[in-house]
A = this chain, B = another copy of it.
Amino acid sequence: MKALVYEEYAPDDNFSKILKIEEIPIPIPKSHEVVFKVKMAGLNHDDIWGMRGKPIQIPMPHISGTDAAGEVVAIGDDVTTIKIRDRVVSHGNLSCRVCIACTEGREYDCRNRKIWGFQTGPLWGGFCEYAHLPEVNVLKIPDNISFENAAAASMTMTTSWHMLVGRAKIRPGQTVLIMGGGSGMGTFGIQIAKLYDCDVITTASQSKLEDCLKLGADFAVDHRQDDWHKQVYAISKDLAKKKQTGPGIDVIFEHIGGSHWNKELALLKYGSTLVTTGATTGYDVNTDLRHIFFKGVSILGSTQGTRAELESGMFWVSKGKLRPIIDSIYAFENAVEAHCKMLKGNLFGKILMKPS
């Protein structure tokens, strides 16, 4: 089969030097594994980290691809819940499934967790014609969801769902601030918070504000403006009047970090929550602890999400309440172009790739 492979790093982001379409054997499933023909795959930032070899070294030769959807062509002897011809999507968070964290339902806390297509290999990821995964790492796609939408949703939706539902435990009526509402994560963050009947304020760059409102955000603020936090505060004050409470935010969905951090902390109400993953503009931040202890706030780190959360999210995609946003679709042959587009960041939603 054809696969998108590289065997050395490109720390200068010159991906064209390393990415090649190669012919490799079609995988044979182990007893608890499933092999599916990839119809659509999704790009994630860990593809870039892998090619750079930073922040961690990865197995070589390498196939990237953490999101993939397709049709099952082979199953192992002990597989019981999936059969040939099933339409499936990957759950890219691999964990041991045995330790106390895994068996308590906290696979994200497993010390041996790995991200498929990033930490796995050699030659084990979604950017190929036939992908293989353990049974527990694929999910049957409801009939009315396309391969495109399934691939666009998988990792990103699961991560956002875990942040808001699994960690922050949002409740109807809360005022929620979605930082970076125009990103892949942000587009799901907005929609999940609306599904839970929250009042949603989002931040984005000027050109994406309109799209964020169309996705359901009640208010959108340009976070490139110095006083974005003052604008958010003013909106929260108006909302608070109707709720007979004080101004400020109940839940902040944060994946930006950097210079926004302390402004976000200042926006939090007494007893409120900030949930954070990644830190795209810088992870070394200054923190005024008084914001945290005086107001009794909870700062919750979040990473990945569970298979059960992917399944919950996918249910709402099938009900039409969550809508994966697709920026563009490329053939594997045009992977360099696709990754460069993601790197530049001038997009709305997910970039997908497929076998030609």
A182 an interface residue at 8 Å Cβ cutoff? no
**6 further interface pairs, Cβ-Cβ under 8 Å (given A106-B271, A243-B315, A285-B287):** A30-B77, A81-B96, A108-B296, A244-B311, A284-B289, A295-B301
Which of B32, B98, B277, B300 contacts A298 (CB under 8 A)? B300
B296 with A303: CB separation less than 8 A: yes
Nearest CB in chain B to that of A293: its residue? B301
In whole angstroms, what is the CA distance A30 to B30 when docked?
Answer: 11
A11 an interface residue at 8 Å Cβ cutoff? no
B276 with A284: CB separation less than 8 A: no
B242 with A315: CB separation less than 8 A: yes
Contact with B along A93-113 (1 / 0, CB 8 A): 000111111011111111100
List residues of chain B with CB within 8 A of the CB of A316. 172-173
Which of B78, B103, B195, B303 contacts A31 (CB under 8 A)? B78
List residues of chain B with CB within 8 A of the CB of A99. 81, 245
In whole angstroms, what is the CA distance A311 to B257 when docked?
Answer: 35
A-B pairs with beta carbons under 8 Å apart, 20 shown: A31-B31, A31-B32, A100-B245, A100-B307, A101-B271, A103-B105, A104-B306, A105-B106, A108-B296, A111-B270, A142-B244, A167-B296, A242-B315, A242-B319, A279-B290, A279-B293, A284-B288, A286-B286, A293-B301, A298-B299
A133 to nearest B CB, angstroms? 12
B173 with A315: CB separation less than 8 A: yes
A346 an interface residue at 8 Å Cβ cutoff? no
| Residues from 183 to 240 in A contacting B, C-beta threshold 8 Å | 195-197
List residues of chain B with CB within 8 A of the CB of A195. 172, 197
Contact with B along A251-282 (1 / 0, CB 8 A): 00000010001000000001100001111000
Q: How many copies of this chain?
A: 4
A318 an interface residue at 8 Å Cβ cutoff? yes
In whole angstroms, what is the CA distance A301 to B296 when docked?
Answer: 4
Instruction: Please give the number of chain A residues whose Cβ is less than 8 angstroms from any Cβ of chain B in the complex.
Output: 76
In whole angstroms, what is the CA distance A302 to B286 when docked?
Answer: 20
List residues of chain B with CB within 8 A of the CB of A290. 279, 283
Q: Considering the complex of A and B, which 3 residue pairs feature the smallest CB-CB distances, nearest first?
A: A105-B105, A109-B271, A292-B301
| Residues from 99 to 138 in A contacting B, C-beta threshold 8 Å | 99-101, 103-111, 135-136
A312 an interface residue at 8 Å Cβ cutoff? yes
A276 with B301: CB separation less than 8 A: no
A103 with B296: CB separation less than 8 A: no
A246 an interface residue at 8 Å Cβ cutoff? yes
In whole angstroms, what is the CA distance A109 to B148 when docked?
Answer: 33
List residues of chain B with CB within 8 A of the CB of A246. 111
| Residues from 44 to 88 in A contacting B, C-beta threshold 8 Å | 77-78, 80-81
In whole angstroms, what is the CA distance A301 to B295 when docked?
Answer: 7
